[in-house]
Amino acid sequence: MERRRDRDGQFWTWERLFLGRGSGDPGRSSGISRVTVRVHRITFWRLQSEDLEVPGLGTCRSQTSRRSRGPRGRRGPNPRMLPFASCLPASLLLWALLLLLLGAASPQDSEEPDSYTECTDGYEWDPDSQHCRDVNECLTIPEACKGEMKCINHYGGYLCLPRSAAVISDLHGEGPPPPVPPAEHPNPCLPGYEPDEQESCTDVDECAQALHDCRPSQECHNLPGSYQCTCPDGYRKIGPECVDIDECRYRYCQHRCVNLPGSFRCQCEPGFQLGPNNRSCVDVNECDMGAPCEQRCFNSYGTFLCRCHQGYELHRDGFSCSDIDECSYSSYLCQYRCVNEPGRFSCHCPQGYQLLATRLCQDIDECESGAHQCSEAQTCVNFHGGYRCVDTNRCVEPYVQVSDNRCLCPASNPLCREQPSSIVHRYMSITSERSVPADVFQIQATSVYPGAYNAFQIRAGNSQGDFYIRQINNVSAMLVLARPVTGPREYVLDLEMVTMNSLMSYRASSVLRLTVFVGAYTF
């Protein structure tokens, strides 16, 4: 409050400054209001606002009269003096009388200058217009909004909003009038130009000097003497604002589309990559790009397949391969023994055998191949899985050797009367666990006499009855294996042929000494 004496010196005047606020704009000053109280009359003067609202006192509208001559003959604005009772309520009258008493009790108060230059936060004092002016924080604060947010200046502050947000300004709201440039130096140039130091008219860059009215979502483009507000690429104008265009609605991308502020980005499904046009998707050959397949890789559309070499199987992870143990699947893969190896298997045969093809075992004939160690006085006899060296002369007294493998007992020797007249040595080999009954050897008479009858029998070597003789006819018989036998084992069977002639009371016999080798295996 300020108390001072009028220039005519006749009245004491009390004045109080009020800081008004514009409706709808928090923190924005609408000007300075002054209430003047005199002894005889009370006047109300508002500098900016048409109405004055005083808390607890009501609202009084001023009515400005035409210019009138002042006390000293000067012409100036003369606020109309409203009758006290017609304008102000009774409470204001009491308040004015209280001010009058306070002023009379303190005549020694010093005078204060008639000025008020302090503004609220978000405003700064404009000395030219003598008003509080809003501070544009979007220009004064570096990077006021981070990320994809845009800065929107607001009365007394600023807002950070998405770039696609539309802001509708209240063009009819109350607020301070725009700063009025000083009129002392009129601009001789056309609108949009200003004089330079050489008094030449140069274009005013409204965009750089923030003299444009483009929306925050628009771009300002300076033009000679003017400017233009346009929408950035990827935006379109809807009403006064620029709104992001959702390019994904137009199916620009082959697979997936991601809309971005002012743009868009195409993405491809796994197994594809963007083509040269950044819209279509082309297949990725993962096999050439280091696919994690352990052995073999096959590219397919949008993916790839891992495969394994023969003898391996694909692991559960779909990439690695593990060896297949073929030997565990069947016991019939190999005739003797199956040996598993990485990615394969092999068949092995026992000693004395060799592999036939890939899985069978065949006896090695050491006698025929010369792989035996028999002397010249011996004869090599081959059997399943080995060989035997036997003496060439196996005749025992009273028998004498008459040819290879044949011994004859002379009739002149008394010891030969009860013995077979001849013994012939033969050798054969059979496998173990042979199915029975099985014909193993056939006996054939070499000489046939008229009226003679031949009988065949096992004379020795069949104590367990593993064999028997089945006579075929008068001159031949068959040795039959009666029970399965397991090797390695050796039988020496004397197969006797008895020749009888009842008319001539003739009886003679001959023996075929058959050595049977039973192999250790079933092959």
Q: Are 517 and 430 in contact, with CB atoms under 8 Å apart?
A: yes
31's torsion region: left (phi>0), alpha (psi -120 to 50) or beta? left
Q: What is the pLDDT of residue 10?
A: 40
Mean pLDDT within 398-406: 91
Q: Which CATH number fits domain 394-518: 3.20.20.70, 3.40.50.360, 2.60.40.60, 3.40.640.10?
A: 2.60.40.60
DSSP 8-class letter at 474: S
Q: State the amino acid at position 196 in one-letter form.
A: D
CATH code given to domain 200-244: 2.10.25
Four-residue CA torsion sign, 154, 220, 235, 170: positive
Q: What is the pLDDT of residue 125?
A: 87
Mean pLDDT, the chain, as a whole number?
A: 78
Examine the pLDDT at 446 and tell me if it is beyond 80.
yes
Q: How confident is the model at residue 432 (pLDDT cuts 50, 70, 90)?
A: very high
Q: What is the pLDDT of residue 259?
A: 93
Q: Are 47 and 31 in contact, with CB atoms under 8 Å apart?
A: yes
Q: What is the pLDDT of residue 115?
A: 53
Q: State the amino acid at position 140 in one-letter form.
A: T
Q: Are 231 and 217 in contact, with CB atoms under 8 Å apart?
A: yes
If we measure between CA atoms, which residue out of 499, 510, 493 comes closest to residue 421?
A: 510
Mean pLDDT within 177-200: 73
Shared fold status for 287-323 and 394-518: no
If we measure between CA atoms, which residue out of 411, 408, 430 comes closest to residue 493?
A: 430
For the segment 204-251, what is each residue's pLDDT rounded down to a tens digit?
999 998 888 898 888 999 999 899 999 999 899 888 889 999 989 988
CATH code given to domain 287-323: 2.10.25.10
**CA dist., res. 274 & res. 1, Å (int):** 75
Q: How confident is the model at residue 266 (pLDDT cuts 50, 70, 90)?
A: very high
Which of the pair, 42 or 129, is modelled with greater confidence? Answer: 129
Highest mean pLDDT, choosing among 174-188, 467-481, 490-504 = 467-481
Q: What is the pLDDT of residue 120?
A: 87
Q: CB-hemisphere CA count at 13 Å for 405? A: 13
Q: What is the pLDDT of residue 255?
A: 93
Instruction: Identify the three-state secondary structure at position 181.
Output: coil
What is the separation of C-alpha 200 from the centre of its chain, rounded to a whole number of angstroms? Answer: 66
Q: How confident is the model at residue 290 (pLDDT cuts 50, 70, 90)?
A: confident
Examine the pLDDT at 110 and tell me if it is beyond 70.
no
Q: CB within 8 A of 84, min separation 6: which ones? A: 41, 42, 93
**CA dist., res. 77 & res. 72, Å (int):** 14
Examine the pLDDT at 468 and tell me if it is beyond 60.
yes
Examine the pLDDT at 2 and tell me if it is beyond 80.
no
Q: What is the pLDDT of residue 431?
A: 94
- What residue segments make up the domains of the chain, in order of their start? 200-244, 247-284, 287-323, 327-363, 394-518
Examine the pLDDT at 515 and tell me if it is beyond 90.
yes
**Strands 241-244, 235-238: parallel, antiparallel or unpaired by DSSP?**
antiparallel
CATH code given to domain 247-284: 2.10.25.10
Mean pLDDT within 393-404: 91
Examine the pLDDT at 318 and tell me if it is beyond 80.
yes
Highest mean pLDDT, choosing among 149-153, 177-181, 250-254, 429-433 = 429-433
For the segment 487-512, what is each residue's pLDDT rounded down to a tens digit?
899 999 999 999 988 777 778 899 99
Q: Are 497 and 509 in contact, with CB atoms under 8 Å apart?
A: yes
Q: How confident is the model at residue 19 (pLDDT cuts 50, 70, 90)?
A: very low
